[in-house]
Structure 1
Amino acid sequence: MECLIQQDLSKKRIDRKYFYTLIICLIIGILVRVLFINSIPPGLNQDEASIGYDAYSILHYGIDRNGISYPFHLISWGSGQNALYAYLTIPFIYFFGLSPLTTRLTSIVFGIIGLILFYFFMKRITTQRVAVIAFALLTICPWHIMISRWALEANLFPTIVLISVFFLVKSFSNKKLLPISSITFAISMYAYGTSYFFVPTFLMITYLYMLKHKVILIKDALINALVFITFSFPILLFIAINKLEMASIKLGIFTIPRLTGESRMDQISSVFQTDFLKTSINNFTQFFRIFLTQNDGLPSNSIEPFGYMYLISFPFFVIGFWEILVNIKKREFHGINIVMFWFLVSILMTFIANVNINRINIIFFPTIIIIAVGINKLYQNKSLGTVAVSFTMFFVLFSYSYFIEYPKKISSRFYESFGEAISYAATQTDQHIYITEKINMPYIYVLFYQKINPYEYKNTVVFQNPESPFQIVTSFSRYHFGTEGVKPTDKTVLVLHNNDAESYDNQQFDITKFKNFSVISEKKHRISP
């Protein structure tokens, strides 16, 4: 373990070499996270549209689409959606308007912040060489590249935790920074539901470790625990309200809402299930398979065969894990041990949650660090060049797959051109628009692309299942979802998948095709776009 924690020799000469490596990695890292961001991923995922529209609605009307004033947690589909991403997106929408790009800007910005901060965090806990290796790995990491390019609320959580742990580690030498760490940890509780278990558990273990080694006093631990509870209190109250089935609470202009159905976290958690032990074992087995194969079957989370960090990384992970474990056994206080706590608490979380890659995303920063430690071990054997070439080759192949082949594969899952079809249909009639129900939550795309007034939506919406965790909207205003038995007339326009549009005669109807969707209207009533 000495090679991990000792200071580099010939520091001045090595720093110059590392500096150029860092600059090259940073340029590559930024480019691969921002190039073609308007078209890759193509279209928009329903969760992106949801959080983007709610951010727009809160900005301009002070309510989300469910009519909740400045909610601490979004009701979203009924089962909830964490609100931090939406609030951080509001400035981009304010300056540049609502669009897929402005909705994704939060992910892009935090992806780049996380990339840069990751290096400085590593410098605090390891040698410069290990920090550079870890930074290079994160630069080319498929998981981090992909989460930086689309607006899933879960994608924000790992970076907020990284910021929190960075200040925590800096507080080892400056106790004044510990409250900042406590506050950012509290903020992470608003980022994603898995934080409800991970953050308190990680903090408890880490504080006990710091107390044992007299890095902090009991007074420091208690004060910062109070800071954490104070800033996270609204989300803790939100959890209590929905677990105890209490009414929503108004705090001035802000609201702690009661969801319309069981929360999403309760649905994927095994904590309150009767067969807890069996379910927990199944959850961990599922996680272990995903962690080894680096694939959860969701193309929005990983691309075969590259996974979250390339399959060649696993041997280095084993070596790095052993290296850090040896350091812990020495009973010496060191920041690298915090990484192991981070990793192990993430593992513990997998027992109580039905995981996929985005639900267990908190594990990947420590995983990359452990891999970097393993690669660093080989430096003494003059194998680093071979390792660097191997990872570079995989990165080049991944980049080709992501930028050339992936858009074709993901196009239908992100409903590419659906927004164009909706916007065009709205110009073809001021009456009824019937929209295919064969996509996930089609109504949210109408709200997003047409920028519907949330009061209009709230006052006219008709739900098929109003008490469900996933409310199905059958209609609102002039928009209807479901096209069975409906034909285009002078008062009716249809939006369908291109395959479904093939049954319509283009001699009788105007059929305007976009990449995946078509707008069908009665020919004599067509209005030029």
Structure 2
Amino acid sequence: MKLKLNSNFWLIAIIVLAAVLRICWLEEAPNTFSTDEASNGYDAYSILLTQRDRYGNLLPILLQAFNDSRESLYVFLIIPFIKLWGLNEFSVRFPSALAGVLTVPIVYCLAQELFKKQKIALFAALLVAISPWSIYFSRLAFRANLFPLVFCLGLLFFCRSWRKPYYLIFSSLCFGISLHTYSAARVFVPFFLLGLLAICYRRLIKSPFITIVSIITFLVFFYFLLAVLAISSRNNKASRNRY
């Protein structure tokens, strides 16, 4: 009981440390509000007021920014905070900071699931909490910072599915959502899941129905994204040919 109480205390302390490092003076540091951050904030504000982005697209899955297409998930996450606190640097950056903080307890749970040792789990959480990479990107309105959060959550559910197979469906949902966080996830996640499938197929075939449902769930996200990308590419090509 004492060890468990101490572990809870240190986990809370690590989460508080992560929050302080990511949220304090968020609107001031970094002191330059980049064009990408401003673009995300403006699109979120436009969708909040009109349900359309700056180009008039209704609730877009992909956003057109500076001569590129970006996933809109982060922009939609900004909207409630703009509604709450107004259009400012803090509101636009806060979802990224919150994602960075939430990644810490998820990594703790994941490490505990894998290694079954409190000390290792606490150490893993601490490393994430003080990671310069995580702190820096958590203080920017950068959509890529959502990927570690969603990916680790999917991996955590996958590990728990070994005991309770229905967690596999939640895992596939998280991995599917991760495809909409950052462009690199479109390549990394499918290959990673193929690796998991090859390594753990003996466990997966013990629950064939849940495994099939989970695979279909992920493929729905994957093919939907491919369809959206194909339509976006076709529209961009038509627009260039017009001019």
Same fold (TM > 0.5):
yes
Question: Residues 200, 216 of structure 1: CA spacing in aligned structure 2 closer, same or farther, 3 A cutoff?
Answer: farther
Q: Distance in 2 between matches of 1:238 and 1:99?
A: 30
Provide Cα deviations, 1:387-430, integer angstroms capped at 9, x if missing partner.
xxxxxxxxxxxxxxxxxxxxxxxxxxxxxxxxxxxxxxxxxxxx
Instruction: Give the whole-Å Cα distance in 1 for the aligned partners of 2:12 and 2:181.
Output: 30
From 64, 82, 85, the equivalent of 1:96 is 85
Distance 1:14 1:157, change over 3 A: same
Question: Would the aligned equivalents of 1:34 and 1:108 in 2 still touch at CA under 8 Å?
Answer: yes
Cross-structure match for 2:138: 148
The CA distance in 1 between the partners of 2:204 and 2:17, in whole Å, is 41
Residue type of the alignment partner of 2:170: I
User: Which structure shows the bigger proportion of residues in strand conformation?
Assistant: 1
Shift in alpha-carbon separation, 1:172–1:53, aligned structure 2, 3 A? same
Query: SS of the residue aligned with 1:175?
Result: coil
How many Å separate the matches in 1 of 2:144 and 2:46?
21
Alignment of 1:6-85 (within 5 A): 12-85=1-74
**Separation in structure 1 between the aligned mates of residue 30 and residue 137 of structure 2, nearest angstrom:** 11
1:85 alignment partner AA: Y
Q: Give 2:154's aligned residue.
A: 164
Partners of 1:91 and 1:260 in 2: CA distance: 34
State the Cα distance separating 1:208 from its structure 2 match: 2.5
Deviation at 1:215, TM superposition (A): 6.5
**1:133 counterpart = 2:123:** yes
- After superposition, where does 1:436-475 map in structure 2 within 5 Å? 467=240
Please show how residues 48-447 of structure 1 align to structure 2 within 5 Å.
48-126=37-115, 127-213=117-203, 216-242=206-232, 245-246=233-234, 258-259=235-236
Whole-Å separation in 1 of the counterparts to 2:187 and 2:102? 25
Partner AA of 2:24 in structure 1: L
User: 1:232 and 1:132 mapped to 2: Cα distance?
Assistant: 34
Deviating more after overlay: 223-232 vs 43-52:
223-232
Cα deviation for residue 213 of structure 1 reads: 4.0
Any idea what the Cα deviations from partners look like across 1:5-54, whole Å, max 9, x if unmatched? Answer: xxxxxxx4543443443333222222111111121111311111111111
* Alpha-carbon distance, 1:57 to partner: 0.8
SS of 2:166 mapped into structure 1: helix
Q: Deviations over 1:364-397 (max 9, x none)?
A: xxxxxxxxxxxxxxxxxxxxxxxxxxxxxxxxxx
Once the two structures are TM-superposed, the CA of residue 219 in structure 1 deviates from its matched residue by 4.0
Partners of 1:75 and 1:189 in 2: how far apart? 18
Residues 58 and 233 (structure 1), Cα distance of their counterparts in 2 relative to 1, 3 Å cut: farther
Residue 180 of structure 2 aligns to a residue in which SS?
coil
User: 2:205 touches 2:211 (CA, 8 Å); kept in 1?
Assistant: no
Identity of aligned residues (%): 29
Contact 1:66 1:76 (8 Å CA) reproduced: no
Displacement of 1:74 after TM fit? 0.5
Residues 272-301 of structure 1: CA distance to partner in whole angstroms, max 9, x if unpaired? xxxxxxxxxxxxxxxxxxxxxxxxxxxxxx
Amino acid of the structure 1 residue aligned with 2:44: A
For residue 106 of structure 1, report the CA deviation from its aligned partner: 0.5
Distance 2:223 2:48 in 1: 24
Residues 289-336 of structure 1 deviation map (CA, whole Å, 9 limit, x = unaligned): xxxxxxxxxxxxxxxxxxxxxxxxxxxxxxxxxxxxxxxxxxxxxxxx
Q: Secondary structure at the match of 1:81?
A: strand
**1:204–1:98 Cα change, 3 Å:** same
Q: Within 5 Å, which residues of 2 pair with 1:490-505?
A: none
For residues 66 and 205 of structure 1, do their structure 2 counterparts lie closer, same or farther at Cα, with a shift above 3 Å needed? same
Residue pairs, 1:506-525, within 5 angstroms? none
Matches of 1:202 and 1:125 in 2, distance apart? 17
Asked if the contact 1:172–1:215 (Cα under 8 Å) also holds between the matched residues in 2, the reply is: no
Give the alignment's Cα RMSD to 1 decimal.
Answer: 2.2
Aligned length: 240
The 2-side partners of 1:53 and 1:260 are apart by: 25
Distance in 1 between residues matched to 2:213 and 2:204, nearest whole Å: 16
Q: Is the 8 A contact 1:85 1:153 kept in 2?
A: yes
Cα displacement string for residues 156-192 of structure 1 (whole angstroms, at most 9, x for unaligned residues): 1111111211111121111112111111211111111
How far, CA to CA, are the matches of 2:9 and 2:171 in structure 1? 31
TM-score (norm 1): 0.43
- What SS class does the counterpart of residue 74 from structure 1 fall into? strand
Q: TM-score, normalised by structure 2?
A: 0.90
More helix by share: 2
Greater C-alpha radius of gyration: 1
The 3-state SS of whatever aligns with 2:25 is coil
- State the partner residue of 1:452: none
